[in-house]
């Protein structure tokens, strides 16, 4: 019997991606779709302007949209949340207090000391914070968050380097797709033939989130990693797929061949557990001189992998490389879905 789940913020861009990824899922079945009061009471088909390239699933079309409140009567232990930032905090807390498990894609609780910020291949052990969260807040449910889209893919690429060699400094320049800004997103006259060298709040997230993700769990608290990170974040006229140019200083000497092999060999708990959404290869190494590219590579491993390439020595740091990741799959809905699968596999959801 499948676990009944709901989607909060189901009509938005990431909410639609949740609906798409949950269609036919072997463990989960969508029983509730919720959105703003403006959409509540309508059928999902009527309330939602579907923007994805695949058709809206038939089962979702006539499903009634509920208000995103804990009193709406959602009979779902597990909720996937993609609510706007100003609503996410109080709404997620309301549902967790009412006994729901909330897998959130929003930033509201990512840096809260008692809320796990999780990339399953990076820090599955941080789920132990759930006990601290429930004890401190008196909740029957809990909140688990996924990281920002750019932070997710950079941290996936950095984790094997940190484990194998040590990591002290990271310099990164992002080229982020317009879909990362939601729908309708950046006005076309602002982005076509242009680069916008500013994304509000993004550079702060690119520092704070990887430090928590790569940190250590000690006595019920996360000790942030001691890494210096300097990011530049840019919006570029690409539909899907964030590209990042990264330079790193490592803790010991190594070679291009050794780093490449460490990336290729990288596996973690999702792969060992055989989680349904886990990529077989969390990190793919592109051999071609001009790869990775968004138009050619973001759908590898169904959008759940980070693709790295152009690894070479760096005269200012130690090594530099390019990475690419799907920002609305692994970097958003897919990341939260994998978190939920990990929660089931570890017994947090029954």
What is the reported pLDDT for 102?
Answer: 98
Cis ω before 89 (30° cut-off from 0): no
Residues 50 and 153 in one domain: no
Residues 51 and 92 in one domain: yes
What is the reported pLDDT for 91?
Answer: 95
Q: What is the mean pLDDT of residues 88-98?
A: 96
How far apart, in Å, are the Cα atoms of 203 and each of 150, 197, 239, 299, 331?
Answer: 10, 11, 20, 26, 16
Residue in 109, 126, 153, 242 annotated catalytic: 242
Residues 140 and 220 in one domain: no
Given a cut of 90, whether residue 37 has pLDDT beyond it is no
Going by pLDDT thresholds of 50, 70 and 90, the confidence category of residue 71 is confident
Buried b (16+ CB within 10 A) or exposed e, 61-91: eebebbbbbbeeebebebbbbbbeeebbbeb
Is 137 a domain residue? yes
Residues 339 and 302 in one domain: no
Given a cut of 90, whether residue 307 has pLDDT beyond it is yes
Given a cut of 90, whether residue 185 has pLDDT beyond it is no
What is the reported pLDDT for 27?
Answer: 98
Question: For residue 335, what are its two tokens?
Answer: 């990341």
What is the reported pLDDT for 85?
Answer: 79
Q: For the segment 142-163, what is each residue's pLDDT rounded down to a tens digit?
A: 999 999 999 999 999 999 999 9
Question: For residue 197, what are its two tokens?
Answer: 């060298």
Buried b (16+ CB within 10 A) or exposed e, 103-136: bbbbbbbbbeebbbbbbbbbbbebbebbebbeee
**Based on the structure, what is the number of domains in the chain?**
2
Query: Percentage of the chain surpassing pLDDT 70?
Result: 100
What is the reported pLDDT for 320?
Answer: 99
What is the reported pLDDT for 87?
Answer: 86
Stretch among 71-75, 124-128, 300-304 having the lowest mean pLDDT: 71-75
Residue in 48, 76, 149, 233 annotated catalytic: 149
Q: What is the mean pLDDT of the chain?
A: 97
Question: For residue 9, what are its two tokens?
Answer: 């913020």
Given a cut of 90, whether residue 258 has pLDDT beyond it is yes
Is 293 a domain residue? yes
Is 140 a domain residue? yes
What is the reported pLDDT for 86?
Answer: 80
Q: What is the mean pLDDT of residues 255-274?
A: 99
Residues 39 and 139 in one domain: yes
Residues 33 and 175 in one domain: no
Query: Percentage of the chain surpassing pLDDT 90?
Result: 92
Query: What pairing do the DSSP bridges indicate for beta strands 65-67 and 28-35?
Result: parallel
What is the reported pLDDT for 137?
Answer: 98
Given a cut of 80, whether residue 72 has pLDDT beyond it is no
Given a cut of 90, whether residue 252 has pLDDT beyond it is yes
Q: What is the mean pLDDT of residues 227-233?
A: 99
Residues 155 and 300 in one domain: yes
Catalytic: 242?
yes
Residues recorded for the chain? 350
What is the reported pLDDT for 60?
Answer: 98
Domain around 37: 3-148+333-345
Q: What is the mean pLDDT of residues 259-270?
A: 99
């Amino acid at each position: 019997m499948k676990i009944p789940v709901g989607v909060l913020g189901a009509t938005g861009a990431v909410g639609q991606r949740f609906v798409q990824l949950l269609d036919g899922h072997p463990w989960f079945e969508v029983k509730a779709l919720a959105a703003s009061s403006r959409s509540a009471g309508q059928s999902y088909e009527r309330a939602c302007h579907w923007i994805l390239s695949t058709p809206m699933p038939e089962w979702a079309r006539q499903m009634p949209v509920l208000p995103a409140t804990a009193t709406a009567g959602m009979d779902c232990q597990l909720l996937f949340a993609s609510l706007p930032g100003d609503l996410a905090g109080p709404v997620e807390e309301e549902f967790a207090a009412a006994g729901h498990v909330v897998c959130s894609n929003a930033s509201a609780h990512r840096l809260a000391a008692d809320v796990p910020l999780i990339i399953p291949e990076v820090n599955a052990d941080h789920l132990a914070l759930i006990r601290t969260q429930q004890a401190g807040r008196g909740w029957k449910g809990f909140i688990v968050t996924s990281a920002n889209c750019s932070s997710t893919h950079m941290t996936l690429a950095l984790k094997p380097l940190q484990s194998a060699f040590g990591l002290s400094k990271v310099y990164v320049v992002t080229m982020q797709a317009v879909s990362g800004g939601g729908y309708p997103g950046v006005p076309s006259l602002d982005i076509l033939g242009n680069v916008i060298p500013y994304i509000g709040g993004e550079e702060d997230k690119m520092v704070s989130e990887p430090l928590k993700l790569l940190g250590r769990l000690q006595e019920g608290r996360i000790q942030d990693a001691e890494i210096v990170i300097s990011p530049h974040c840019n919006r570029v006229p690409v539909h899907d797929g964030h590209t990042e140019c990264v330079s790193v200083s490592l803790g010991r000497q190594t070679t291009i061949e050794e780093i490449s092999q460490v990336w290729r060999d990288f596996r973690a708990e999702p792969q060992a557990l055989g989680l349904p959404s886990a990529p077989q290869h969390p990190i793919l190494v592109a051999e071609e001189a001009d790869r990775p590219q968004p138009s050619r590579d973001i759908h590898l491993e169904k959008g759940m992998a980070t693709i790295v390439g152009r690894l070479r020595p760096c005269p200012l740091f130690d090594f530099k490389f390019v990475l690419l990741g799907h920002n609305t799959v692994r970097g958003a809905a897919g990341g939260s879905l994998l978190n939920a699968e990990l929660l089931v596999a570890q017994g947090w959801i029954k």
